[in-house]
Chains A and B, each alone.
Chain A
Amino acid sequence: MPKWLTSIFSILFLLPSSTPAKDFKVGLLTPGPVSDKGWNAGAYEGLLAIETRLGAKISHVQVKTPAEHEEHFRSYADEGYSLVFGHGFEFQDAARRVGADFPETVFITTSGNTVTQNVGAMVFELEEATYILGFLAGKMSASGVVGMVGGVEIPSVESTFIAFEAGAKAGNSGIRALRTYTGSWEDTALARDATLAQISQGADFIFHNANEGGPGVFQAVSENRSKNVFAFGSNKDQNAEAPDVILASAVIDLPGAFVQLAERVKSGSYKPGVTRFGLASGVISVALNPNLSGRIPDPLRAEMEDLKGRIVSGKLKVPRGNF
């Protein structure tokens, strides 16, 4: 039986006998399907890495509503899980409530700022990478218009847009930055039409943070390749998804971050707090597409490296949303 099926069964039937109490057990709640090739897929890969690298027993559930967040946090804690991840900003309230009832379990939300005795958050400073992408777009845009396509407007996504726009303005103070939210993480077709609308308004560099809207953005940009329109990938290295048009990706090494925190929880050295991962940690990076990197002039590349150095050393504070 495949492992994921086993984990589904173990949740359905709550099989306590199969896992003795001394095991290091790690659970994960995701807000969407882990087949999304993006945000949720990265978390699931992190969970699998925790299993192989730390020998943990793992389990995953996909949840939709806040009531489900709490219910599944509670059932994991009840079964003696040592660590449960809630993969998103929206899991904080449930983590706080359930955390108070189960002090033995550590709850970590990805993004957020809720901290108690056993509840913490990990925050990805993806803004540091999207700022550099914005700068690149601002410098290279021939039309002076760049675009951003989002899924649902949540603070962590808006924040990457704020940084992208600021980066673009740093590259070219006269740049216009367009912003569209489709209102969905899954609607690929709508993201394509949203992108075509931006291109019709002159946008020639388009950054997305729309999860499964991403393929729609890449499709729209590919259709306009002859007009020298380019796209950027987000959250994962998506350069290979449309190698002719994706200039670079803003990458979060989700598996790396998940394993780092799980290691600390396992060894007992984890102190609940907000753990920040930025360019300096190596968890966040800018991945240039080798296929297109010849398009970026050498002096511009040097400027990007310089920006990166100033961000890592703390000399440059990247603008971001307040959350």
Chain B
Amino acid sequence: MEPFEIFLQSGVRIATPLLLAALGELLAEKAGLINIGIEGKLLAGAFAAFVVAASTGSLWAGVLAAMLAGLALAVLFGVFCIALRNDQIVTGAALNFLALGGTGMGYQLLYGQTGSAATVAPFAEWNLFSLENIPLVGPALFSQTILTYLAIWIALLFAFLHTRTRLGFHLAAVGEHPRAADAAGIPVNGVRWCAILIEGLLGGLAGASLSLSLSNTFNEGMSNGRGFIALAIVIFGRWNPLGVLGGALFFGAATALQLLLQASNIVWLSANYPYLQMLPYLLTLLVLAAALGTSRSPRAIGQHYHRE
């Protein structure tokens, strides 16, 4: 493969956990919930996936465990924020800390205080119909692991549901004007519960992609802020599934680009690598600034709903 093909492939790969996490968050925000606890779901998912895959030898068992771990955090969020009507931001932050501390303690209990170099054989790239031989974009689109293909298909499915079905309409109604939705017979909190549970499953899956697809191991704090980038990607994508897909790919490509530039050994670039490290974040900020005024969040985001 040519360096440019490797760069594109790397960009799509890096986008995978961001895309899965951002799609989950998109769903929750559409329903009027803001959950800043995605980072915690990524970590919990990565941890559960690695532990179960390493002990059972089955990657899919690991993926399932990751989704259940994400689901468990989502249930906590739902109980506190939907049933008990707590503050969503505070709850999300608390769940992040719970996941960071919980996975760290669990890892040390299972693998010893100073850690061990345990690894799993991760998901391998799947080459689809020899299409990976297409110049330039072949490896990026047709030589990825199954979790990457899955993430892209989920994005397309969401896009279809979002614009073409009653389901998407109900979701938007609950997030925009819950009282009117309720009057129209849509079970507001039921829809919110569904959204948050699916977000949990997707957040866990995103974590699994981190420890079983993008790498082959777990370590404390390995999510490295991806959950917060996912939050930005939802805004970047203007609360639209295809926008989120584009945003995740954009950020992934920008990250891969800065790695390529650092490795390119162009002297003046290498000497200024802190600017290269900033590149993905800077570009994201620029796009967000350009999108200002042309998009807005769901009106009822962060607000509780209860009948008087």
CB-based nearest B residue for A60: B113
B residues near A41, Cβ cutoff 8 Å: 114-115
In the complex the two chains form, what is the Cα distance from A189 to B215 in whole Å?
A: 5
Least CB distance, A143 to chain B, in whole angstroms: 13
B119 x A180 contact (CB < 8 A): no
A197 x B263 contact (CB < 8 A): yes
Interfacial residues of chain B within 95-132, with CB under 8 A of chain A in the complex = 104, 107-108, 111-117, 119, 122
B222 x A35 contact (CB < 8 A): no
Interface stretch (choices A134-142, A211-219, A306-314)? A211-219
- Partner of B260 from A179, A184, A197, A212 at Cβ < 8 Å: A197
Interface string of A185-197 (1 = CB under 8 A from B): 0111110111011
A residues near B6, Cβ cutoff 8 Å: 196-197, 200
In the complex the two chains form, what is the Cα distance from A197 to B10 in whole Å?
A: 8
- Partner of B113 from A35, A193, A201, A203 at Cβ < 8 Å: A35
CB-based nearest B residue for A188: B215
B residues near A180, Cβ cutoff 8 Å: 259, 262-263, 273
A4 x B113 contact (CB < 8 A): yes
In the complex the two chains form, what is the Cα distance from A238 to B115 in whole Å?
A: 13
B114 x A34 contact (CB < 8 A): yes
Q: Answer whether residue B216 sits at the interface, using C-beta atoms and an 8 A cutoff.
A: yes
Q: Answer whether residue A44 sits at the interface, using C-beta atoms and an 8 A cutoff.
A: yes
Q: Answer whether residue A198 sits at the interface, using C-beta atoms and an 8 A cutoff.
A: yes
CB-based nearest A residue for B274: A153
A44 x B113 contact (CB < 8 A): yes
B224 x A200 contact (CB < 8 A): no
Q: Answer whether residue B229 sits at the interface, using C-beta atoms and an 8 A cutoff.
A: no
Q: Answer whether residue A181 sits at the interface, using C-beta atoms and an 8 A cutoff.
A: yes
Q: Answer whether residue A36 sits at the interface, using C-beta atoms and an 8 A cutoff.
A: yes
In the complex the two chains form, what is the Cα distance from A182 to B104 in whole Å?
A: 22
CB-based nearest A residue for B104: A33
Q: Answer whether residue B214 sits at the interface, using C-beta atoms and an 8 A cutoff.
A: yes
CB-based nearest B residue for A152: B277
A186 x B219 contact (CB < 8 A): yes
Interfacial residues of chain B within 138-156, with CB under 8 A of chain A in the complex = none
- Partner of A194 from B220, B222, B263, B265 at Cβ < 8 Å: B263
B residues near A34, Cβ cutoff 8 Å: 108, 113-115
Which of A36, A188, A190, A203 has the most chain B CB atoms inside 10 A of its CB? A188
In the complex the two chains form, what is the Cα distance from A223 to B259 in whole Å?
A: 18
Q: Answer whether residue B77 sits at the interface, using C-beta atoms and an 8 A cutoff.
A: no
A178 x B263 contact (CB < 8 A): yes
A197 x B115 contact (CB < 8 A): no
CB-based nearest A residue for B270: A179
Q: Answer whether residue B13 sits at the interface, using C-beta atoms and an 8 A cutoff.
A: yes
Least CB distance, B84 to chain A, in whole angstroms: 28
B residues near A176, Cβ cutoff 8 Å: 265
A residues lining the B interface (CB < 8 Å): 4, 32-37, 41, 44-45, 147, 153, 176-184, 186-190, 192-194, 196-198, 200-201, 203, 212, 215-216, 219, 238, 240-241
B residues lining the A interface (CB < 8 Å): 1-3, 6-7, 10, 13-14, 104, 107-108, 111-117, 119, 122, 210, 214-217, 219-222, 224, 255-256, 259-260, 262-265, 270, 273-274, 277
